[in-house]
Amino acid sequence: MLAIRVIPTLLLKNSGLVKGVNFKNHKYVGDPINAVKIFNEKEVDELVFLDVSATNENREPDYRLIEDIASEAFIPFGYGGGITNIKQVKKIIRLGVEKVIINTSAINDLTLITDAAKFAGSQSVVVSIDTKKNFLGKYRVATNSGLTLTKLDPIELAVACEKAGAGEVMLTSIDNEGTSKGYDLDLINKICTSITIPVVASGGAGSLEHFKQAIDSGASAVAAGSYFIFHGRHKAVLITYPEYEQLEQLFKE
Amino acid sequence: MIVILDYGVGNLKSIQNMIRKAGGEAVISSNKELVAKASTVILPGVGAFDHGMEKLHELGFVELLKNLVYEKGVMILGVCLGMQLLFERSEEGSLDGLGFIKGTVKRFQFKKEQNLKVPHMGWNIVNPIENAFLYKNLPNNARFYFVHSFYVECEREQDILATASYGLDFACSVNSGNVFGAQFHPEKSHKFGMQFFKNFLEYINASN
Mark yes or no for CB contact B11/A94 under 8 Å.
yes
3-state secondary structure of B67: helix
Contact (Cβ atoms closer than 8 angstroms) between residue A196 and residue A167: no
- pLDDT band of A130, cuts 50, 70, 90: very high
Instruction: Check if A73 contacts B (Cβ < 8 Å).
Output: yes
| pLDDT digit string, tens, across residues B145-170 | 999 999 999 999 999 999 999 999 99
What number is the average pLDDT over the span A188-203? 96
pLDDT at B119: 86
Q: How far apart are CA B89 and CA B170, in angstroms?
A: 17
pLDDT at A156: 97
pLDDT at B8: 82
| pLDDT digit string, tens, across residues B7-48 | 987 779 899 999 999 999 999 999 999 999 999 999 998 888
Q: Which residues are within 8 A (CB) of B7 and not within 5 positions of it... i.e. 6 or more apart?
A: B30, B45, B52, B55, B56, B59, B61
A-chain residues near B18 (CB < 8 A): 74
B-chain residues near A119 (CB < 8 A): none
Residue A232 has pLDDT above 90, yes or no: no
Which residues of B belong to the active site?
A: 80, 185, 187
Contact (Cβ atoms closer than 8 angstroms) between residue B192 and residue B198: no
pLDDT at B9: 73
Lowest-confidence region among A182-191, B1-10, B13-22, B49-58: B1-10
Query: Interhelix angle for A111-120 vs A86-94, to 10°?
Result: 30
| pLDDT digit string, tens, across residues B80-112 | 999 999 999 999 999 999 999 999 999 999 998
Residue A37 has pLDDT above 70, yes or no: yes
- The average confidence (pLDDT) of chain A is 94
Q: Which residues are within 8 A (CB) of B165 and not within 5 positions of it... i.e. 6 or more apart?
A: B124, B125, B127
Contact (Cβ atoms closer than 8 angstroms) between residue A170 and residue A201: no
For residue B39, the tally of other CB atoms under 10 A from its CB is 15
Q: Which residues are within 8 A (CB) of A43 and not within 5 positions of it... i.e. 6 or more apart?
A: A241, A244, B190, B191
pLDDT at B61: 97
A-chain residues near B119 (CB < 8 A): 121, 123
Q: How far apart are CA B145 and CA B135, in angstroms?
A: 15
Q: How far apart are CA A190 and CA A206, in angstroms?
A: 22
Q: How far apart are CA A69 and CA B69, in angstroms?
A: 34
Q: How far apart are CA A56 and CA A239, in angstroms?
A: 28
Mark yes or no for CB contact B117/A123 under 8 Å.
yes
pLDDT at A80: 97
Total-model pTM: 0.91
pLDDT at A2: 62
Contact (Cβ atoms closer than 8 angstroms) between residue B125 and residue B143: yes
A-chain residues near B10 (CB < 8 A): 94, 96
For residue B10, the tally of other CB atoms under 10 A from its CB is 22
- The DSSP secondary-structure symbol of B8 reads S
Contact (Cβ atoms closer than 8 angstroms) between residue B82 and residue B90: no
What number is the average pLDDT over the span A15-37? 94
pLDDT at B65: 98
Query: A66 vs chain B: nearest CA distance in angstroms?
Result: 11
Residue A169 has pLDDT above 80, yes or no: yes
**Judging by beta carbons within 10 Å of its beta carbon (0-12, 13-18, 19+), is residue A253 exposed, middle or buried?**
exposed
| A residues 37-66 lying closer than 8 A (beta carbon) to B | 40-41, 43-45
Residue A1 has pLDDT above 80, yes or no: no
- Concatenate the DSSP letters of all residues of chain A into one string: --SSEEEEEEEEETTEEEEEETTEEEEEEE-HHHHHHHHHTTT---EEEEESSTTTTT----HHHHHHHHHH-SS-EEEESS--SHHHHHHHHHTT-SEEEE-HHHHH-THHHHHHHHHH-GGGEEEEEEEEE-TTS-EEEEETTTTEE-S--HHHHHHHHHHHT-SEEEEEETTTTTS-S---HHHHHHHHTT-SS-EEEES---SHHHHHHHHHTT-SEEEESHHHHEETTTTEE------HHHHHHHHH-
Instruction: Check if A33 contacts B (Cβ < 8 Å).
Output: no
Mark yes or no for CB contact B121/A41 under 8 Å.
no
Contact (Cβ atoms closer than 8 angstroms) between residue A190 and residue A217: no
Contact (Cβ atoms closer than 8 angstroms) between residue B29 and residue B1: no
R_g over Cα of chain A:
17
B-chain residues near A95 (CB < 8 A): 11
Mark yes or no for CB contact A76/B190 under 8 Å.
no
Q: How far apart are CA A144 and CA A147, in angstroms?
A: 5
Q: CA dist A83 to A12, A51, A103, A104, Å?
A: 14, 10, 8, 8
- Smallest Cβ–Cβ distance between B17 and the set A1, A44, A71 belongs to A71
Q: Which residues are within 8 A (CB) of B175 and not within 5 positions of it... i.e. 6 or more apart?
A: B132, B134, B159, B161, B181
Q: Which of B123, B127, B184, B197 to mutate to test the interface with A (most CBs of A within 10 A)?
A: B123
Q: List residues of chain B with CB under 8 Å from any CB of chain A.
A: 10-11, 13-14, 17-18, 21, 117, 119, 121, 123-125, 141, 143, 145, 147, 149, 185, 187-191, 193-194
pLDDT at A3: 76
For residue B72, the tally of other CB atoms under 10 A from its CB is 12
What number is the average pLDDT over the span A129-149? 95
Mark yes or no for CB contact A121/B10 under 8 Å.
no
Contact (Cβ atoms closer than 8 angstroms) between residue B132 and residue B88: no
pLDDT at B128: 98
Q: How far apart are CA A35 and CA A18, in angstroms?
A: 11
The percent of residues in chain A predicted with pLDDT above 90, rounded, is 86
What number is the average pLDDT over the span A52-75? 94
- Smallest Cβ–Cβ distance between A67 and the set B11, B187, B190 belongs to B11
- pLDDT band of A253, cuts 50, 70, 90: low
- The average confidence (pLDDT) of chain B is 95
Higher pLDDT, A202 or B10: A202
